[in-house]
Chains A and B, each alone.
Chain A
């Protein structure tokens, strides 16, 4: 019900005030919230897959826009695809732990109930001629002998696994196993692959079965040929450029396998798509003009609808994506450079358009900037480009952005997250479809081959020159990825007077290396592929390679690369870095670990966009966006940028740790009143990480973070008052903070810390062990938090064991808890055969064997120079009676240190559990310690008895000097 009301609220919230502000990267760089939008056969319902907070498939009443039925998915299950079978049933394909599961979804009292199709195989398609039936490919045979038989089967029979009444579609080829159904021509298709000659055959049979007929054989060609539809029984309509410069819609005779008459060709552009209403009746063709997909309609009805939509949306793209069977209701997707996209319902019966859904509802209030098309004639070639100028904050800074490829790739002017992110931060952007780009015919494309660093960059420069005649900029930088990264540097080398800086990502900088990247990316066959873009291999490529031209490159550079990039191998970027850093070039790098030719995760796209923005602001000395006049939305967007950068440097798998930069960005976010950032700044002061340890500053930032609503900060302050860290122990203040933390966020970790207070507090403060243990046990622990929660419980038990002044009865209750959680059943133990001192880890000499810690010296004086060493103790645990794996015990170890200034500080404590047959040890790496410190290790049993204590004095002398003195 809550879900239904939320949706209704969303639908009401249509009008809004648009403001131009920095876009929030964490809202922009995300998956679409609404997708897979469809309509029921009669048009009564529309449907969508919504991934806003959790994942839902919603069926919505088309007239009221209220949710009629809904299906929620657990995080482990994703919706791969679905389709309408009839007004009551959906065919739903789920992916569960990498296994595809076909289901029939039936509406029942606001829910979509799933009925699983148990028969092995796959659903080929629905069957509109009889909505109670589907085409199903039933799996036959096992392992390598798997094939599929094709049936037209009643849905209920399929659910029951009953194929007796199903109609098998017989055909003559046992190899045909992958079936497709074309509802326009009512024919069944298959594709068969022939690896030996690298071809694939498209074959067809009539719906009633019979003999497969080869339509077309795909092979490696220098031309494109894409079947679109049947034109008549013996003729296909294909989009091809085999005989023409442009991709045209052309007839293809199936019997002779020859091309025939051209059905439609655009005088200037390649066709990107075509659609037939029925066999032989062309509905529309599509092509890209100025980066926007345009349609030419041949069917009056479709054309009329979209002509009206086009007037409404003012130059944006509009595509019909779904229709009811009688075409009376349509869903139209509208999008453009300044519009992420929304879905409109058109009801032909009442001639009405209704706004339905946005792809990104969170961005609805955000205004975006539309690009302006530019046309330039250069050396007799028509070039198309797009210029995007900010409509609010304008730093008068132009980023010239060559696209990747470069051959056969086209920059479009559709909604582009990176462009809108940058323009909202005050940058202008210029993108050019230079020679070699796709969409303008074969001749235009071939003009770019071998023109790396030459005519391609001349095209870009020509467009830039024209832009500069009408616009003025204070700064110009080049920026691009892949070929665009190469081009960005070459532009600055060729026209150094124009450019102030360069941002190059995932680029190629050593052209000969393209032919010699590895054993499998070299040789004659591989060279033929590369030559199609770069031209022939020769040493002259050196003259167009930034690596070998590095002395001519004198602009500040931000170099971004993925260390696992297999397309533009990391070696390109590293070579350039090696040379430029040796030459003390103004160079900054971001080499992402575990990353290929770009990111596969929106989070890191946001990171990269924020990184580039930060770089440009610093290098060009631009005025920061944040000011006292900034709106909360702007501040929130900027905080997210600082946080994503700080988190990357602080602790991430992809960015090398850099505490200085992490602190700097946390500080900037904290200055904008961000709670988590304030907490982290406090934590840096607390740990003395990058900054000098300063507990006063640390606690000030913790207080600020807590006041800003970050509950971990109050928890931290509560713990410090409880443990007497920095502050004198104050149980009242501790409780106050811990209660506030729990009230702000009743998380399991906050409960555990509050529970700890109830175990440790003196009787005078109403210690309550029952409450303590109930708080620690409260709540279901999600699997992904289990480790963190257990660590917190162990820390708490360790602290309670050492510090709490417990009665025998209270101790017994805690033992019961330890018994329950850690299966401890022996509480009395002795520690024997203790080896205490300096340890080194010795790798095993044999493959597969574990290494071991070896006692190197039992002196209590330890050299800090032994940075790879460890200190502490290894020991045996003795229990009463026979040794057994069934006897489980536990102990607590505490580390504290006295610094060279005489300050005593508890470092941490550990809760260890196991059996007497296990190997027990408590060690720390030597690089934790500093010369002049004395560390103490104490070991307690769970009855709070001190079993062992030893001191370790850290000295600057070497190990040899210590041993010499000892001897």
Chain B
């Protein structure tokens, strides 16, 4: 009985995840109260099927946004702590994250929170064995924003919400002058 309940709950939780896609237009919008932008990099050596992130709002990324190579997700979300839940590598292999504490990041309100690059290196096409790491690649995130979303970048403070501490964004933005607000 308990097992069935757990399965049902798992299905319910999975189905609750909202599909998100990256912002396409470089127009800064009026964010809902207690919302901020999430900037997440995903670098993978194979096309992935889905990626699930839990937090104040459960979200999933679909295959369109997690293709082989380096992908960026920029999306506005409710502020708070989020963590990676699982990755569907393809139709057959899934990686469940059991060390959630290593995969937790923070979105701060009204800012752009860069939380790291998820690096997913699958050892073989036929097997699910993969190396995963959430890597601090803040300078590449800056370059991406300046190139693809200069308006949003210029209007918002960029902060680091990934694992560990990092004051690079503060230093970098102090050189550019205050954000244009």
Genuine A/B complex: yes
Complex Cα–Cα for A542 and B165 (A): 13
B102 contacts A512, CB within 8 Å? no
Question: A516 to B166, Cβ gap below 8 A?
Answer: yes
- Selected from A518, A523, A579, A582, the residue in CB contact (under 8 A) with B135 is A518
Smallest Cβ distance from A662 to chain B, in angstroms? 24
**Chain B residue with minimal CB distance to A577?**
B139
Compute how far the CA of A523 lies from the CA of B103 in the bound complex, rounded to whole angstroms: 13
Q: Are A578 and B163 in contact (CB under 8 A)?
A: no
Number of chain B interface residues as a range:
20 to 34
Q: Is the CB of A513 within 8 A of B135?
A: no
State the Cβ distance, A422 to closest chain B Cβ, in Å.
30
Chain B contacts for A513, CB-based, 8 A: 136, 166, 168
Which residues of A have CB within 8 Å of B172? Answer: 578-579
In the assembly, what is the distance between CA of A512 and CA of B165, in Å? Answer: 8
A847 adjacent to B49 (CB under 8 Å): yes
Closest to A848 in B: B91
Taken together as a complex, chains A and B put the C-alpha atoms of A548 and B116 apart, in Å, by: 21
Is B148 interfacial (CB-CB < 8 Å)?
no
Tell whether A519 pairs with B166 under 8 Å between CB atoms, given A575-B139, A847-B47, A848-B90.
Answer: no
A512, A517, A571, A843: most-surrounded residue (chain B CB, <10 A): A571
The answer to whether B166 and A512 touch across the interface, beta carbons within 8 angstroms, is yes
Given known contacts A513-B166, A578-B143, A847 and B62 CB-to-CB distance under 8 angstroms:
yes
Cβ distance B60 to chain A, nearest Cβ, rounded Å:
12
For chain B residues 105-128, which have a beta carbon within 8 Å of chain A?
Answer: 116
A547 within 8 Å of B (CB atoms): yes
Of the candidates A523, A570, A574, which one forms a contact with B164 in the assembled complex, judged by CB atoms under 8 Å apart?
A523
Chain A 547-562: CB-based contact to B (< 8 A → 1; otherwise 0): 1100000000000000
| Identity of the chain B residue whose Cβ is nearest the Cβ of A522 in the assembled complex | B164
B134 touches A (CB below 8 Å) = yes
A518 touches B116 (CB 8 A): yes
Residue pair B138, A575 in contact (C-beta under 8 Å): yes
* B96 in the interface (beta carbon within 8 A): no
Contact call A518/B142, Cβ cutoff below 8 A:
no
In chain A, positions 904-942 with a C-beta closer than 8 Å to chain B are none
Contacts of B28 in A (CB 8 A): none
Determine whether A379 belongs to the interface, using a CB cutoff of 8 Å to chain B: no
State whether A519 touches B133 (Cβ < 8 A).
yes
CA distance A846 to B163 in the complex (A): 33
Q: Which residues on the A side are within 8 Å of B5 (C-beta)?
A: none
Which B residues touch A542, using CB under 8 A?
Answer: 167
Report if A569 contacts B (CB, 8 A).
Answer: yes
Proximity bits, B141-160, A CB within 8 Å = 1, else 0? 01100000000000000000
In the assembly, what is the distance between CA of A515 and CA of B164, in Å?
8
Residues of B within 8 A of A582 (CB): 175
In the complex, whether B34 has a CB less than 8 A from a CB of chain A is no
Q: How far is the CA of A799 from the CA of B91 in the complex (A)?
A: 45
Closest to B63 in A: A847
A582 to B175, CA, bound (A): 10
Q: Is A885 among interface residues, defined by CB-CB distance under 8 A?
A: no
A542: nearest residue on chain B (CB-CB)? B167
Q: How many residue-residue contacts, CB under 8 A, span A and B?
A: 82
Complex Cα gap A520–B166 (Å): 15
List A511-555 residues whose CB lies under 8 Å from chain B.
512-513, 515-523, 539, 542, 547-548
Report if A847-B91 is in contact (Cβ < 8 Å); known contacts: A520-B102, A578-B139.
yes
Q: Does B68 contact A (CB under 8 A)?
A: no
Say yes or no: is A510 at the interface (Cβ < 8 Å to chain B). Answer: yes
CB contacts (< 8 Å) of B165 on chain A: these are 512, 515-516
Interface residue from A519, A520, A847 paired with B90 (Cβ < 8 Å): A847
Bound CA–CA A510/B102 (angstroms): 22
Interface-central residue, A512, A516, A542, A582, by most chain B CB under 10 Å: A516
A520:B133 contact, CB within 8 angstroms: yes
Residue of A nearest to B103 (CB): A519
Contacts of B168 in A (CB 8 A): 510, 513, 547, 575
Q: Contact: A517 with B63, CB < 8 Å?
A: no
Q: Known contacts A571-B139, A578-B139, A578-B143; decide if A518 and B163 are in contact (CB<8 Å).
A: yes
Given contacts A510-B168, A571-B137, A575-B168, contact A519 B142 (CB under 8 A): no
Pick the most buried of B91, B138, B164, B165: most chain A CB atoms within 10 A of its CB.
B164
A571 to B143, CA, bound (A): 12
Give B177 Cβ to nearest chain A Cβ, in Å: 13
- Provide the residues of chain A in CB contact with B62, threshold 8 Å: 847
- The answer to the question of A15 belonging to the interface, with a C-beta cut-off of 8 Å to chain B, is no
- Determine whether the beta carbon of B135 is less than 8 Å from that of A845: no
State A845–B21 Cα separation when bound (angstroms): 13
Flag whether B64 is at the interface (Cβ < 8 A).
yes
Chain A 574-599 per-residue mask, 1 if CB under 8 angstroms from chain B, else 0: 11011100100000000000000000
**Residue numbers in B under 8 Å from A848 (CB-CB):** 49, 63, 90-91
Contact with B along A606-638 (1 / 0, CB 8 A): 000000000000000000000000000000000
- Given known contacts A516-B166, A518-B116, is B64 in contact with A845 (CB within 8 Å)? yes
Q: Is the CB of A518 within 8 A of B133?
A: yes
Q: Which residues in window 831-849 of A have CB below 8 A to B?
A: 843, 845-848
Check B163 against A522 for contact (C-beta < 8 Å): yes
Which residues does chain A contribute within 8 Å of B164, judged by CB atoms?
515-517, 519, 522-523
Contacts A518-B134, A847-B63 given; indicate if A574 touches B139 (C-beta within 8 A). Answer: yes
Q: CB of B26 within 8 A of chain A?
A: no
- Please name all residues of chain A whose beta carbon is closer than 8 Å to the beta carbon of B47 when the two chains form the complex: 847
Provide the residues of chain B in CB contact with A516, threshold 8 Å: 136, 163-166
B140 within 8 A of A: yes
Report if A571-B49 is in contact (Cβ < 8 Å); known contacts: A519-B133, A843-B64: no
Residues of the A chain whose Cβ atoms lie less than 8 Å from the Cβ of B64 = 843, 845
Q: Which residues of A contact B90 (CB under 8 A)?
A: 847-848
Q: Which of A571, A845, A847 contacts B138 (CB 8 A)?
A: A571
Give complex CA distance A538, B173 in Å.
21
A522 to B101, CA, bound (A): 12
Q: In the assembly, what is the distance between CA of A486 and CA of B74, in Å?
A: 33
> Which of B103, B143, B163 counts the most A-chain CB atoms under 10 A from its CB?
B163
Report how far A846 CA is from B167 CA in the complex, Å: 40
- A569 vs B136: C-alpha distance when bound (angstroms): 9
The docked-state distance in angstroms from the alpha carbon of A769 to that of B142 is 63
Q: Which residues of B contact A515 (CB under 8 A)?
A: 164-165
Which chain A residues border B135 with CB–CB below 8 Å?
A: 517-519, 569, 571
Residues in A neighbouring B175, C-beta threshold 8 A:
579, 582
Report Cα–Cα, A845/B67, bound state, in Å.
12
| Complex alpha-carbon distance, A542 and B168, angstroms | 10
Q: Is the CB of B134 within 8 A of A519?
A: yes
Which of A548, A570, A847 has the most chain B CB atoms closer than 10 A to its own CB? Answer: A847
Chain A residues near B91 (CB-CB < 8 A): 847-848
Min C-beta distance of A123 to chain B, whole Å: 30
Q: How far is the CA of A512 from the CA of B138 in the complex (A)?
A: 13
| A521-B165 Cα distance, complex, nearest whole Å | 12
For A582, the closest partner residue in chain B by CB is B175
A515 and B166 CA atoms in complex are apart in Å by 9
Query: Cβ of A510: which chain B residues have Cβ within 8 Å of it?
Result: 168
Contacts of B166 in A (CB 8 A): 512-513, 516
A685 to chain B, nearest CB (A): 34
Interface residues of B in 62-79 (CB under 8 A from A): 62-64
List 22 interface pairs A-B (beta carbons < 8 Å), by A numbering: A516-B165, A516-B166, A517-B136, A517-B164, A518-B134, A518-B163, A519-B133, A520-B102, A520-B133, A522-B163, A542-B167, A569-B135, A571-B138, A574-B140, A575-B168, A578-B142, A578-B172, A579-B172, A579-B175, A847-B63, A848-B49, A848-B63
| New contact pairs (17) apart from A519-B163, A571-B137, A582-B175, CB-CB < 8 Å | A510-B168, A512-B167, A515-B165, A516-B136, A517-B164, A519-B102, A519-B134, A569-B136, A571-B140, A574-B139, A574-B140, A578-B139, A578-B143, A846-B63, A847-B63, A847-B90, A848-B90
B residues sitting closer than 8 Å to A (CB atoms) are: 47, 49-50, 62-64, 90-91, 102-103, 116, 133-140, 142-143, 162-168, 171-172, 175
The 7 nearest A-B residue pairs measured at CB: A516-B164, A522-B164, A847-B63, A519-B163, A519-B134, A574-B139, A518-B135
